Structure 1
Amino acid sequence: MRQGRLYYVMGPWGAGKDSVIEWARVNGPSYDVAYAHRYVTPSLESLGGNHVALTPVEFDLRERRGLFALTWQAHGLRCGLGKEIEHWLRQGVDVLVNGSRGAFPSAQARFNDMVPVLITASRESIVSRMLSSGPEAAEQIDQRLARHDSYVVPEKTVTIVNEGNLPEAGMSLLKAIRNHSA
């Protein structure tokens, strides 16, 4: 049986990463791909996407017991990918995860045959989306744009530019999966 392949999707806040992943999950053809949940704490109603909210106590317990394949912190959230993805990969199932640019080196070290996918957008689109997220986002725009501008895209990364045409960006993600499927 072949090993499954991990699709590690990452991108800056405001690029529409969650929306693109969700569009592909709901509208895409039935490839042999499992869309992994991302476990997060604290719970954010506005987070959207394929997330499972945990209390800090639940997150700590899972982390102590080794129930995460990967964890990271970003923007005040603690995030984790469950160990179930390792089982799915061993069973030959391709797995798509909603990752983090900051956690990419750890993911790459752990999953050597993964396909990195960067969802991005123009600075203008990112700023517009950040501003629409509320007043707390306005305080963080400069910091997040600086991180966006300085990010060095890893080699062999599939880049998808999401400039507002969600079906087009979603189809690009599905095409990347199809083109890299073993």
Structure 2
Amino acid sequence: MQTPLIYVVGPSGSGKDSLIRYARERLASQPGVCFAHRYITRPADAGGENHIALSEEEFAARAKADLFALHWRSHGLSYGIGIEINQWLAKGVTVVVNGSRGYLPQARKRYPELLPVAIEVSDAVLRARLRARGRETAEQIEARLQRHHELGGMGDSRDVIRNDGELAPAGEALVALIRRRSGALACA
């Protein structure tokens, strides 16, 4: 069995960052699991996930040098996953990434062993979370909700985690999924 790339997706505000952070903390000493940081053209202090902030120029230069295993644009920002994940996968390490639903078909072509994990949340909870974080206007929130409905569910994803309530139950579901799928080697 090939080591999977666990590709966590869901709408903005579904709690992906919180769930990935939860799993990272719970699995910090787990051999065979690595959590990839995303490179994003968003300031480091913008809140949300622990990412590597790049300017548009830095991002473009890295993309031109083929330093991203995966990269896409969404909501006016560029997102990338570094090529270091290829080394981790080659060593039998299970890699967890915060992905994009819109980029899933391209990611699947590059990584046939990719395992999509959909984080789902009700519209009411999603709207409330987006409002609470205060990064978007009311119009931008409605646009995000519209995009969520246009992208729909994950279709063939067998792994769906509901995240409407407290963090711990959904976090433990993600931890259990990663443990079931993880390899036997330490993060390199």
Question: Common fold, TM-score beyond 0.5?
Answer: yes
User: For 1:126-141, what aligned pairs fall within 5 Å after superposition?
Assistant: 126-134=126-134, 136-141=136-141
Q: Please say if residues 3 and 113 of structure 2, whose CA atoms lie closer than 8 Å, have aligned partners that are also in contact.
A: no
What SS does the aligned partner of 1:46 have?
coil
In structure 2, the CA distance between the partners of 1:158 and 1:84, relative to structure 1 (3 Å rule), is same
Q: What residue is the counterpart of 1:15 in the other structure?
A: 14
Counting only pairs closer than 5 Å after superposition, residues 8-157 of structure 1 correspond to structure 2 as 8-28=7-27, 30-134=30-134, 136-150=136-150, 151-157=152-158
Counterpart of 2:171 in structure 1 is 170
Residue type at the aligned position of 2:142: D
Q: Which AA in structure 2 matches 1:167?
A: A
What are the ranges of 5 or more consecutive residues in structure 2 without an aligned counterpart? 184-188
Stretch deviating more after TM superposition (25-34 or 67-76): 25-34
CA RMSD of aligned residues (A): 1.7
Preserved contact between residue 3 and residue 91 of structure 1 (Cα < 8 Å): no
Is contact 1:130-1:138 (8 Å) kept?
no
Q: Are the structure 2 counterparts of residues 135 and 22 from structure 1 closer, same or farther at C-alpha, using a change threshold of 3 Å?
A: closer
Is 1:3–1:93's contact at 8 Å kept on the other side of the alignment?
no
Would the alpha carbon gap of residues 135 and 112 (structure 1) be closer, same or farther in structure 2, given more than 3 Å must change?
Answer: closer
- Identity, in percent, stands at 44
Shift of 1:148: 1.8
- Relative to 1, partners in 2 of residues 1:144 and 1:174: Cα closer, same or farther, differing over 3 Å? same
Distance change >3 Å, CA 18–CA 156, structure 1 → 2: same
1-structure distance, mates of 2:124, 2:155: 23
Cα distance, 1:44 vs. partner? 4.8
**Aligned-pair distance for 1:47?**
3.5
The runs of at least 4 consecutive aligned structure 1 residues that moved more than 4 Å come to: none
CA deviation digits over 1:126-152, x for unaligned, max 9?
Answer: 000111122733121222212222314
Counterpart Cα distance in 2 of 1:176 and 1:19: 16
**How far did residue 93 of structure 1 move?**
0.6
Q: Work out whether residues 89 and 95 of structure 2, in 8 Å CA contact, stay in contact via their aligned partners in 1.
A: yes
**What whole-Å deviation, never above 9, does each CA across 1:104-161 have from its counterpart, x for those lacking one?**
1111111001110011211110000111122733121222212222314231341111
SS of residue matched to 2:137 = helix
Q: In the alignment, is the contact (CA less than 8 A) between 1:9 and 1:119 conserved in 2? A: yes
* TM-score between the two structures when normalised by the length of structure 1: 0.92
Cα distance change, pair 10–135 in 1 and its aligned pair in 2 (3 A): closer
Q: Which residue of 1 aligns with 2:162?
A: 161
Q: TM-score, length-normalised on structure 2?
A: 0.89
